Amino acid sequence: MLMILGKPAPLLFGQLLLGIINGSFYAMLSLGLAIIFGLLNVINFAHGALFMVGAFVTWGLLHYLGIGYWPAMVLAPVMVGAFGLGLERTLIRFTYKLDILYGLLLTFGLALVLQGLFTNAYGSSGVSYSAPDLLSGTLNLGFMYLPVYRGFVVAAAIIICVAVWFVIEKTSLGALLRASTENPALVQAFGVNVPRVIALTFAAGVALAGLAGVLAAPLYSVNPGMGTDLINTVFAVVVIGGMGSIGGAILTGFGLGIIQGFTEVYYPAASSVVVFAVMAVVLLARPAGLFGRAA
Amino acid sequence: MMFGFTRAQAIGFVVMAAILAVAPFVAYPIFVMQVMCFALFAMGANLLMGYTGLLSLGQAAFFGMGGYVAGYMIQTMHASTEVGLILGGLTAAAIGVVFGWLAIRRQTIYFAMITLALAQLVYFFAVQDTGFTGGENGIQNIPRGNLFGSFSLHNDLQLYWLVFAVFIAGFLFVHRVIHSPFGQVVKAIRENESRAISLGYKVEQYKWVIFVLAAALGGIAGGLNALVVRIATLTDVGNATSGLVVLMVLVGGIGTVFGPLVGAAIVVAMQYYLASFSDWVTVIQGVIFIACVLAFRRGVAGEVASWLKLSL
């Protein structure tokens, strides 16, 4: 058997793949958090819960309406995004004038409500969802077996992240967003409806969480706690990367997933805490985060 | 006035002490004891949230570890009750020294996320069944032990007076801290950090001390709570408990003297009386969070105080 750095290759690559998959979700979720924070100055603690809602919507579409995975990939993010739009208009917008911590507390409460409602409806063990036929099975890559769906998740996550980065950094829509972040009053004076931009940005960030939920549905058990478990790590990722740059959020997400994968191979006991250890080191060496501006 | 009480606060304090002294004879003692434990915990969180302007989402780490250490010392090491409680508080304070050292490097939302992440470390430690925390089972059937090695605390009422004494001492201590010159500087930092820095105050050190005090209070409260309910489990060290203490401070009134006790009473009562609705309790707590943020930011004590035009 091929050995790399003292470990059998299939084990190493298998864990590395799991790490990259975790990293995909860290990247997609921290990206949404960064976009929302940039414009709304609100850290969305309900992000993990909305990711969970995305997964449940995917399951519900199939279970109740017989709508399969591919249409769900469009429908679920749209539905979660619309829900987010409603939340922004009815609740979150009232926190903009307040201390930044109230937005956090409000979304924290929202997360509790969503998680409680889904636990009531589906129990804490949740439901299961299988990958579409096209993406089931495994691929023999020679050095390891790749479950097709996992490969698909990584590819999809990379495409999504690059697309979001492109829209924000390279298009006129992105320029408008960045301008509204820099100086909302001036952008408003140019005739742009800034409150509408803010609401749609929140909806888009939340839709991204919903889309991540769709990708996660066949991978993990769809349960009410799935978002909370993930989002705690994502917050550490956000602290490490800083919320200053979109590219930084993506790189940090994937990077930490990979570090976690390697830790799983060489020192499994530390794999669940390695992200937090990295966070502590970064705080000591670069308090503003790897890509963050001092604040 | 002693301890920096205003006249209204002194009256409030006497009324509070009187109610708590009568309470075990009219209400379920375990319930009142838990209210006082969580009030002590919330007073620590209020030092951070209310007086320093730092929102910690990881306070359960201190509460939970205080419970584990007190439970372990009294059950396995046969320590006297007060030794267990003090060691619980000291352990929490020691963790607070390290976590505070890291967390005070960032502000506002970053501070909140860092404390959440660090508390997760403690949770992961507690999940491992190392023979200390008992993993999924926790520490069960914790004996209440003897105070100073001789006074039995087996009876609920006997334990009640210990919890009462610790709570009152904690209350006076926190009040003294807030109304000391040190506390004034802390409040100045909350109001205008750059100004406090320019006046030459070492802002980080003040925040750090407050963080450690909050941790120690959490540890003592957790130890007492473990004696009251006689178990120390993962629930006490988990995120939900961190959220609960923030809710208590928010409902009671951020930055008020009596708020933590009022908030603890409301939230613990909800846990008791709505227990049969199981998961709806989470939903109700979430709704209260949202309602408090949107319409009720002063909390109960804050609203009453503004209605009476007093500082409570």
Note whether B109 contacts A43, CB cutoff 8 Å: yes
Return the pLDDT at A183. 85
Q: Which of B221, B248, B222, B224 is nearest to B234 (CA)?
A: B222
Does residue A119 sit at the B interface (CB-CB below 8 Å)?
A: yes
Amino acid at A241: G
Return the pLDDT at A242. 79
Does residue B126 sit at the A interface (CB-CB below 8 Å)?
A: no
B:3-62 residues touching chain A, CB 8 A cutoff? 53, 55, 57
Return the pLDDT at B1. 53
Q: Put residue A289 in one of left, alpha, beta given phi > 0 → left and psi -120 to 50 → alpha.
A: left
Chain-centroid distance, C-alpha A66? 26
Return the pLDDT at B2. 66
Mean pLDDT, range A247-267, rounded to an integer? 88
B286 vs B270: CA distance, rounded Å: 13
Question: What's the pLDDT tens digit per position in B80-106?
Answer: 888 999 999 999 999 999 999 988 888
- Compute φ and ψ for B254, nearest 5 degrees: -65, 130
Burial class (CB in 10 A: 0-12, 13-18, 19+), A151: middle
Which residues fall within 8 angstroms of residue A13, CB to CB, at 6 or more apart? A143, A144
**Which chain A residues contact residue B60 at CB under 8 A?**
none
Note whether B105 contacts A120, CB cutoff 8 Å: no
Return the pLDDT at A110. 94
Note whether A109 contacts B108, CB cutoff 8 Å: no
3-state helix, strand and coil shares in percent for chain B, rounded to the nearest 5: 75, 0, 20
A37 vs A201: CA distance, rounded Å: 10
Question: What's the pLDDT tens digit per position in B45-73?
Answer: 999 998 998 999 999 999 999 999 999 99
Q: A with B: how many residue pairs have Cβ under 8 Å apart?
A: 115
Does residue A162 sit at the B interface (CB-CB below 8 Å)?
A: no
Q: Which of A19, A284, A271 is nearest to B124 (CA)?
A: A271
Does residue A106 sit at the B interface (CB-CB below 8 Å)?
A: yes
B145 vs B253: CA distance, rounded Å: 35
B164 vs B181: CA distance, rounded Å: 28
Residue B14, CA atoms < 13 Å, CB-side half-sphere: 6
Which residues fall within 8 angstroms of residue A230, CB to CB, at 6 or more apart? A25, A29, A48, A51
Structural contact between residues A287 and B105, judged by C-beta atoms closer than 8 angstroms = yes
Mean pLDDT, range B5-23, rounded to an integer? 88
Note whether B124 contacts A104, CB cutoff 8 Å: no
Residue of B110, B118, B247 to mutate for A, most A C-beta atoms under 10 A? B110
By three-state DSSP, how is residue A170 classified?
Answer: helix
Name the pairing type of β-strands A138-140 and A145-147. antiparallel
Q: What angle do CA A104, B242, B86 make, to 5 degrees?
A: 145
**Which chain A residues contact residue B243 at CB under 8 A?**
108, 112
Residue A105 pLDDT greater than 50, yes or no: yes
> Closest Cα of chain A to B33: distance in Å?
26
Q: Which of A250, A271, A268 is nearest to A259 (CA)?
A: A271
Nearest to A100 among B102, B108, B113 (CB): B108
Mean pLDDT, range A246-269, rounded to an integer? 87
Q: Which of B223, B226, B240 is nearest to B92 (CA)?
A: B223
Q: How far is CA B170 from CA A59, A238, B221, B271, B281, in A?
A: 50, 36, 10, 24, 29
Note whether A232 contacts B120, CB cutoff 8 Å: yes
Amino acid at A260: Q
Return the pLDDT at A214. 93
Q: Put residue B180 in one of left, alpha, beta given phi > 0 → left and psi -120 to 50 → alpha.
A: beta
Note whether B121 contacts A104, CB cutoff 8 Å: no
**Which chain A residues contact residue B124 at CB under 8 A?**
272-273
Does residue A74 sit at the B interface (CB-CB below 8 Å)?
A: no
Which range of A25-34, A128-137, A286-295 scores highest in mean pLDDT? It is: A25-34
Residue A113 pLDDT greater than 70, yes or no: yes
Does residue A108 sit at the B interface (CB-CB below 8 Å)?
A: yes
Q: Enter the DSSP assignment of A132.
A: P
**Which chain B residues contact residue A280 at CB under 8 A?**
102, 118
By three-state DSSP, how is residue A138 classified?
Answer: strand
Q: What is the mean pLDDT of chain B?
A: 89
Confidence of residue B264 (pLDDT cuts 50, 70, 90): very high
Mean pLDDT, range B169-196, rounded to an integer? 91
Question: What's the pLDDT tens digit per position in B99-142?
Answer: 999 888 888 888 888 898 889 889 988 888 777 888 888 888 88
Which range of A91-95, A272-276, B209-213 scores highest in mean pLDDT? It is: B209-213
Residue of B115, B283, B298 to mutate for A, most A C-beta atoms under 10 A? B283
Specify the DSSP element, H or E, that contains B147.
Answer: strand B146-147
Note whether B290 contacts A106, CB cutoff 8 Å: yes
Return the pLDDT at A1. 59
What sign has the CA pseudo-torsion A98, A101, A105, A107? positive
Return the pLDDT at B10. 87
Q: What is the mean pLDDT of chain A?
A: 87
Return the pLDDT at B33. 92
Q: How far is CA A225 from CA A288, B135, B153, B179, in A?
A: 30, 20, 39, 42
Residue A294 pLDDT greater than 60, yes or no: no
B4 vs B180: CA distance, rounded Å: 8
> Closest Cα of chain A to B129: distance in Å?
13
A32 vs A202: CA distance, rounded Å: 9
Q: How far is CA B120 from CA A242, A272, A277, B137, in A?
A: 20, 10, 11, 18
> Closest Cα of chain A to B90: distance in Å?
22
Q: Report the share of chain A in percent with pLDDT over 90.
A: 32
Structural contact between residues B17 and B153, judged by C-beta atoms closer than 8 angstroms = no
Mean pLDDT, range B275-295, rounded to an integer? 86
Q: What angle do CA B145, B150, B151 make, to 5 degrees?
A: 70
Q: Which of A88, A34, A45 is nearest to A289 (CA)?
A: A34
Q: Which of A127, A149, A118 is nearest to A222 (CA)?
A: A127
Instruction: Give all domains of chain A, ordered by start, each with its CATH number.
Output: 15-285 (1.10.3470)
Note whether B108 contacts A101, CB cutoff 8 Å: yes
Structural contact between residues A168 and A34, judged by C-beta atoms closer than 8 angstroms = no
Residue of chain A nearest B108, judged by CA positions: A101
Q: Which of A195, A114, B281, B180 is nearest to A106 (CA)?
A: A114
Q: Which of B276, B285, B258, B195 is nearest to B8 (CA)?
A: B258
Note whether B113 contacts A236, CB cutoff 8 Å: yes
B33 compared with B79, residue with greater pLDDT: B33
Which residues fall within 8 angstroms of residue A176, CB to CB, at 6 or more apart? A187, A192, A197
In the block, which residue shows the tokens 């924290």?
A: A108
Mean pLDDT, range B188-203, rounded to an integer? 91
Q: Strands, DSSP E only, in chain A?
A: 3-4, 7-8, 138-140, 145-147
Range name among A30-39, A158-167, A198-207 with the lowest pLDDT average = A30-39
Question: What's the pLDDT tens digit per position in A213-251?
Answer: 999 988 888 999 898 888 888 888 888 887 777 888 888
The two three-digit tokens of residue B307, written as one number: 């209605």
Residue A295 pLDDT greater than 50, yes or no: no
B247 vs A95: CA distance, rounded Å: 17
Note whether B280 contacts A238, CB cutoff 8 Å: no
B57 vs B218: CA distance, rounded Å: 13
Q: Enter the DSSP assignment of B50.
A: I
Mean pLDDT, range A145-152, rounded to an integer? 86
Question: What's the pLDDT tens digit per position in B227-241?
Answer: 999 888 888 998 889
ipTM: 0.85
Residue B267 pLDDT greater than 80, yes or no: yes
Note whether B112 contacts A104, CB cutoff 8 Å: yes
A:28-47 residues touching chain B, CB 8 A cutoff? 37, 43
**Burial readout B28-49 (b: 16 or more C-beta within 10 A, e: otherwise):** ebbbbbbbbbbbbbbbbbbbbb
Structural contact between residues A229 and B103, judged by C-beta atoms closer than 8 angstroms = no
Q: Report the share of chain A in percent with pLDDT over 70.
A: 98
